[in-house]
Amino acid sequence: MSIPYRERWRGPRPQRPGITLAALVFLGSAALCGFTSHKLAVMSRLRGWTPGAPQRVMTVEHILRRFNASMGEYQLVDAHGGTWKMQLTAEQLDRIGYHQPVAVRCLEDERECFVPDSVYISDGNFGFDHALRALESLGMLASGLRIGWRLRAWRREVRAWEKQAPSPVAQRLN
């Protein structure tokens, strides 16, 4: 009885590396970086660095709702009678006062206004968001490199697996 030709068993093909966690970190960092970038773009519009939020003079009419003892949302009225809303602290309202003109920058799409010393446009918040975007970009870079390194190492293993020499019997038969 003859033994049929068989190549030497090379072992199982290398499995694809697990990159699920790194891919989730990459996607999460990309989403957060997109959100922070949009927020920084809005903040630069409100600061007057980029066009899109012209400065207007409006008057504070009345309170719409109170969040707590020191914070509330107030209704503003512009020169044309349009109504807007703005969040103010008690200190800001004491400084501005009701029915007094105040210079603000407004977002047209949200009908919301901001005074120059609001938290949303403050230097501290602006710097914090730049640092946050840098960390999010670093997370994207690190997880992207991790994915690339793991896939590259896996491809090398597959190529080495495919190039393994056949058995000596197979070489004699050819």
Domains of the chain, CATH where assigned: 21-141 (2.40.50.100)
pLDDT in tens, 90-103: 899 999 999 999 99
Across the chain, mean pLDDT equals: 88
Instruction: State pTM to two decimals.
Output: 0.76
- 42-86 pLDDT, tens digit each: 999 998 898 888 888 999 999 999 999 899 999 999 888 888 999
Q: Is 173 exposed, middle or buried (0-12, 13-18, 19+ CB in 10 A)?
A: exposed
> How many CB atoms lie under 10 A from the CB of residue 44?
15
Q: Where would I find the H helices in the chain?
A: 20-47, 90-96, 123-162, 168-173
Q: What is the largest CA-CA distance in the chain?
A: 107
